[in-house]
Structure 1
Amino acid sequence: MARQGAPAPVAGEFPIDTGTCELEPDPYSTNGWVLRVNGVPSSHIDLDDPLRLDFEYMRWIAALVDARWGPSDRLRVLHLGGGACSLPRYIAAAHPAARQVVVELDGKLAELVRQWFDLPRAPLVRIRVGEAREVTRSLSEASRDLIIRDVFAGSRTPHPLTTVEFTQEAKKVLAADGIYLVNCGDSPDLKMARREAATIASVFENTAIVADPAMLKGRRYGNVIIAGSDGPLGEGPGLARGLLGGGVPAHLWQDDQVRRFASGAQPLTD
């Protein structure tokens, strides 16, 4: 439930630093809200249930996280891209010992999200206003266990956040067996997903991909979750079964499949 005394969300369009955002009620949920940023669906929030993730790609990210860390683990998380902080709310509820920092470029949007939604306070969830690459570069080595990159300008991730050089910067911030997770939005040709997979595979020992079968067969625009780690990643039959049994069934590709998928694609560079 929303905190007592916190301002209730109100449907409407609001000016933010990078344009406008629109908040609209979810017609299928008593206390759910959809956030659009410059006309693009960005986030869904259920104020009554932080464990509810309506966007399938967020459920895939959550499944990868839950397969690696338990509720009592003191998980250190860096979110690059905030939106309505759906994933930080989820992780705070599923992993209450976690400490999270959310990097959001748009200061006004961050202010509105804090005002509207029941976000755990610092040190559980801190919102840091800034550019994702600059903030990542400023962090101490081995200071995070998990980095989630979910940054979009329109339908694409800004190029500086996709390159080998940035991926190496992110790896420095991760613990030795930490996980780097990216949300890649791509068209049916999967050109960007292949290049992002090649980029991450060039930096990390182990990779994984989660996406729905239609996306992986090049039949539609959608999301591909790509993961990199020098430690174990996506192991165990339970994760693959769970992904297949979701509302939108998804396939889990392990390292060999990811590298075959990326074969011939050039890693992205600055």
Structure 2
Amino acid sequence: MGRQRGGRAASSPRRQKTGASSGPVAGIYDIDTGTCELLEDDYLPDGWVLEINGVPSSHIDLNDPTLLEFEYMRWIAMLVESRFASDSRLRALHLGGGACTMARYFAATFPEARQVVVEIDGRLAELVRHWFDLPRAPRLRIRVGEARQVLTSLSDGTRDVIVRDVFAYDRTPIALTTVQFTRHAHRVLAPGGVYVVNCGDFRDLATARREATTIGSVFAHTALIADPAMIKGRRYGNIVLAGSDAPLGDSPALARDLLGGAVPAKILVDDEVQRFAAGAPVLDDSEAPPPPTPKAPAPKGGTNTAEE
């Protein structure tokens, strides 16, 4: 779920395209979890918007992988870039793929990065590889699977950054927010690694507060990034939360960059995040229904374009 800079004009429905030519083609497509719609950006000649089951999911500019139209993605990028040098061999795990916008950005800004994107929808992964110029393995691998099942299977200390950006319509599945899930993220991260999540919430901020408490119960340091109106509970939107065993948000340049963006944002850290959470309870597995089972795409001509 994302909100674009300056908003978008309404787009009229377009019929499904079934041509075999490479590259994006506007239309509605059947995927394993419902439908997705690929829309041309009304303002950027090489821009595309991906909606999944009617909810904006991703934006891609074919000519500029560093262009992030969704402000929460810019906030995630700023946070990660404040912690890691551009020449570092960043090991990134993305839980939730969409159009792989964030992974494509990291590939451009961290040329030595090695990334895995976990996407539950095999057909969507196949389409995204077909539409967009994504780096190939080993720089970027797309693994079809359910995020929690994949995370729990990974070895200790093998990732520097974990980005969770998973939505079922307009909510993250509870099983991907609990303290048990967060402990697995902590286990998989290398010392000083960063766990960062995109939390979509309503004006009561109940979900964001519980997620902040949960992340804070596992990691020594926490951070929260959002625009002031969202922090004050004035609208529905996105809040970025992060956890690490190393201090977060201690760079003055990060605070300045966040305030200077197209949608100015504020960062809260540690005690400020605790005050925001205001005693909200930790999220627990007992509240979560069983996770869905991923469906891998059927091989075509002996080749599965969703890379394992």
TM-score normalised by structure 1 residue count: 0.97
Does residue 56 of structure 2 align to residue 62 of structure 1?
no
The equivalent of 2:30 in structure 1 is 15
Match of 1:105 in 2: 120
Partner secondary structure for residue 225 of structure 2: strand
Aligned runs of 1:116-195 on 2, under 5 Å?
116-195=131-210
2:47 alignment partner in structure 1: 32
Question: Larger relative CO (CA 8 A, sep 6+): 1 or 2?
Answer: 2
Identical counterparts, % of pairs: 66
- The structural deviation recorded for 1:139 is 0.5
Aligned to 1:262: 277
* Secondary structure of the corresponding residue to residue 272 of structure 2: helix
Matching residue's letter, 1:164? V
Matches of 2:282 and 2:129 in 1, distance apart?
37
**Given residue 218 of structure 2, which amino acid in structure 1 is its aligned partner?**
V
Deviation digits for residues 131-163 of structure 1 (CA, Å, limit 9, x no counterpart): 000000010100000000000001100000000
Letter paired with 2:60: I
What is the match of residue 75 of structure 1? 90
Q: Read off the aligned partner of 2:232 and give its amino acid letter.
A: K
2:245 is matched with: 230
For 1:175-196, what per-residue CA distance to the aligned partner results, in whole angstroms no more than 9, with x for missing partners? 0110000000000010100000
Aligned residues: 265
Alpha-carbon distance, 1:79 to partner: 0.2
Matched, 1:198 2:207: no
Offset of residue 232 of structure 1: 2.4
Give RMSD over aligned pairs: 0.7
* SS of residue matched to 1:134: helix
- The 1-side partners of 2:68 and 2:55 are apart by 17
Residue aligned with 2:222, SS: strand
1: distance between equivalents of 2:184 and 2:86?
Answer: 28
Q: Which whole-Å CA distance do the structure 2 matches of 1:143 and 1:233 have between them?
A: 20
Quick one: which of 42, 61, 68 aligns to 2:57?
A: 42
Partner of 1:95: 110
d(CA) in 1 for partners of 2:144, 2:235: 34
Q: Cα distance, 1:256 vs. partner?
A: 1.1
Q: 1:221 maps to which residue?
A: 236
- Tell me, what secondary structure is at the counterpart of 1:44? strand
Q: Deviations over 1:79-104 (max 9, x none)?
A: 00000000000000000111000000
* CA–CA distance in structure 1, aligned partners of residues 23 and 189 of structure 2: 37
3-state SS in 2 of match to 1:170: helix
Deviation at 1:262, TM superposition (A): 1.3
Aligned to 1:3: none
Q: Does 1:249 align with 2:260?
A: no
SS of residue in 2 equivalent to 1:253: strand
Deviates more, 1:258-267 or 1:81-90: 258-267
Please state how far the C-alpha of 1:235 moved relative to its aligned partner.
1.2
Mean Cα displacement is larger for which, 230-239 or 97-106? Answer: 230-239
Amino acid at match of 2:184: E
Taking the aligned partners of 1:213 and 1:262, their CA distance within structure 2 comes to: 15
The alpha-carbon deviation at position 70 of structure 1 amounts to: 1.3
AA partner of residue 174 (structure 2): H
Shift of 1:263: 2.6
Distance 1:12 1:220 in 2: 31
- Give the match's secondary structure for 2:136: coil
Distance 1:263 1:11 in 2: 45
